[in-house]
Amino acid sequence: MIARLLLPFGALAVVATAMAQQPDEARSIALFREAGKVLQSPRCLNCHPVGERPTQTDRMTPHVPFIVRGADGHGPAGLPCNACHHAANYAESGVPGHPKWHLAPASMAWAGKSLSEICQQIKDTARNGGLDMERLLDHMAKDSLVGWAWAPGGKRTPAPGTQKEFGDTMRAWADTGAFCPPD
């Protein structure tokens, strides 16, 4: 019997094995499931929508006012995201902000997808913006727009854990073979 220990790691858990014989594949899948708590949170899914319209709030309601992705993920011509979303969260109105505010590429739409499908997407350089594993891990662990998910302001619930914990979990996932969970 293979036993797993769940060690406290902020709101995320690092999955460790009590037996060295546990295959990397099982550890890798367990780690990705932990990272999935972030990837499938509203903070990520709102900016990784399926379709042309972003969602907002913890309930992931369609963006109000009505807005679409636009050709480059920065909003429609004449009304870019940064027309409303400025360099920082605006507490008075509740409008979130960041200097690089934009949607993820349409090829990285996650909303409504299984954790297995998301895993396959993020590993696929044809869909993830050409990021090899090292650049993907760097993006997840250090990108300040990704990091916004842990300081969303307003009444928004932050992503679980911290960006460092998320980055460490993703690194451990990659180090154990970057296996994806089955559907």
In a domain, 45, yes or no: yes
How far lies 2's CA from each of 18, 20, 176, 182, 183, in Å? Answer: 7, 9, 17, 19, 22
pLDDT in tens, 59-78: 999 999 999 999 889 999 99
In a domain, 74, yes or no: no
% of the chain at pLDDT higher than 70? 88
pTM score of the predicted model: 0.87
Q: Which residue, 42, 78, 47, 73, is CA-closest to 58?
A: 42
In a domain, 95, yes or no: no
In a domain, 40, yes or no: yes
Q: What is the pLDDT of residue 15?
A: 45
**What separation, in Å, do the N-terminal and C-terminal C-alpha atoms of the chain show?**
24
Q: How many domains does the chain have?
A: 1
Please tell me the least confidently modeled range out of 1-10, 20-29, 98-107, 142-151. Answer: 1-10
> Within its chain, how far is the Cα of 22 from the centroid?
27
In a domain, 167, yes or no: yes
In a domain, 135, yes or no: yes
Residue-number span of the structural domain to which 16 is assigned: 4-51+104-175
